[in-house]
Structure 1
């Protein structure tokens, strides 16, 4: 008693399944870790008595290197410095990394994932490490504002293309936009 479109009877008429090949684009964070962390508290314990509002300077940079054909290390470097007229209260240097797997992606998409999406995914964890390090140094935790890594990536790519156009050719190989702010 088979009806039209009955699953059991339509098995013979189904198109053959895909070849089982792994050909879909995929990218993601495989692992993440603190590669290097330095906390300096050069004026302690005097700095704990300072009442002047500190001047904060936060710098970041993005780097990447290929580990294997489908695996790269993306490095988010963050330096946070707190200074007053009395001196430097603290300096926190963090190198926070992620192993990023990317397969079956065009180079342009790999580049964008490496320098925009992967840092966006890593940043909340790096921000927590910095906050904890500042707190552990004896100061109020430093909570960094979110960063629009995609916007920075697009902006730096546009600047690179404008510079290439002004020079009349492409930039040297290996010149990649990172972030610094």
Structure 2
């Protein structure tokens, strides 16, 4: 005979707790562009300006569905010459279940982009290679630090606006 009241076994009438979960339902390229305005032999290491933006919006279907967008932009210059400009908007459809409300935003803006990043990184590397340049291999991104910086900027804007009244 099994003791059903032991830890881990719910007592009759008690529902087992649903642990928080994150499911990736799909990933896709929303927008991709590569411009090569100044293709010329480069004798020195080009300067690369990299931009990263993360956004999340609830999906129209609801049910804990969110679209998370990871936007990567890269501009390579050598002196005054723009070698290439690449922009990628890579997104994923995620489903969150049983996630506490205070953890939804960090999950969407840290964990989801962390899952998308390797795929977006590969696309940027391939498109720069296909454009005639060495593949641009973007260093890993600390999405926790990015989220914290975004959170601080929002708090500073709110405090600055609050003091102007």
Structure 2: where are the runs of 5+ without partners? none
For residue 16 of structure 1, report the CA deviation from its aligned partner. Answer: 1.6
3-state SS of paired residue (1:117): helix
Aligned-partner Cα distance in 1 for 2:87–2:161:
36
* TM superposition shift of 1:162: 4.1
Alignment of 1:2-41 (within 5 A): 6-7=1-2, 15-16=11-12, 18-19=14-15, 23-41=18-36
Match of 1:64 in 2: 56
2:110 corresponds to 1:116? yes
Once the two structures are overlaid, the 10-residue window that deviates more, 79-88 or 138-147, is: 79-88
RMSD: 2.5
SS class of match (1:141): coil
Gaps of 5+ in 1: 1-5, 170-181
Instruction: Kindly state the Cα deviation for residue 90 of structure 1 after the two structures are TM-superposed.
Output: 1.0
User: Is 1:94 aligned with 2:88?
Assistant: yes
Which range moves more in the overlay, 71-80 or 97-106? 97-106
Aligned to 1:51: 43
TM-score normalised by structure 2 residue count = 0.82
The structural deviation recorded for 1:149 is 0.5
The correspondence for 1:76, drawn from 70, 86, 92, is: 70
Distance (Å, rounded) in 1 between the aligned partners of 2:80 and 2:42: 8
Structure 1 segments of 4+ aligned residues over 6 angstroms from their partners:
none
